Amino acid sequence: MSAVFVWPTRVYYEDTDASGVVYHARDLHFFERARSEWLRARGCNHQQLAERFGAAFTVASLEIRYRQPARLDDLLEVTVAIAQQGRASLLFEQGLQRPGEPQNLLATALVKVACVDTSSFKPRTFPAGWLEP
């Protein structure tokens, strides 16, 4: 597994249901944003990936395990790590937790992302060197 990237965020009113608990589908937003920030921290963003390399990411599969609820105004950390790398895919392990509480994960996700050509949306190998730290 690769080094763990950590992205801080906060739970806003718009993220919650009527009981003040994060609505389950909002975790997808947290995980997606953290992967985007992981990419940005590596010196590239989605638009640059498309413009410079003609490549884009698409989610091929997603598995989420909900453990504990996050609540309105909670400060959270979303973690991103590459668990497995293929020629045209990455398997990310992601976690959602309150800072300083890695033992109390709120949710975990396994996200398989495929690299596709921006014009055909057919799978393609990752551009050479794009994943270098």
**Per-residue model confidence as pLDDT tens digits over 26-53:** 999 999 999 999 999 988 888 988 998 8
Cβ-contact 112, 91 below 8 angstroms: yes
How far apart, in Å, are the Cα atoms of 83 and each of 9, 16, 24, 66, 77?
23, 30, 24, 19, 18
The pLDDT tens digits for 93-122 are 999 999 987 778 999 999 999 999 999 999
The domains found in the chain, sorted by start residue, are 5-117 (3.10.129.10)
pTM, 2 dp = 0.91
- Which residues are part of the catalytic machinery? 17
The pLDDT tens digits for 117-126 are 999 999 999 8
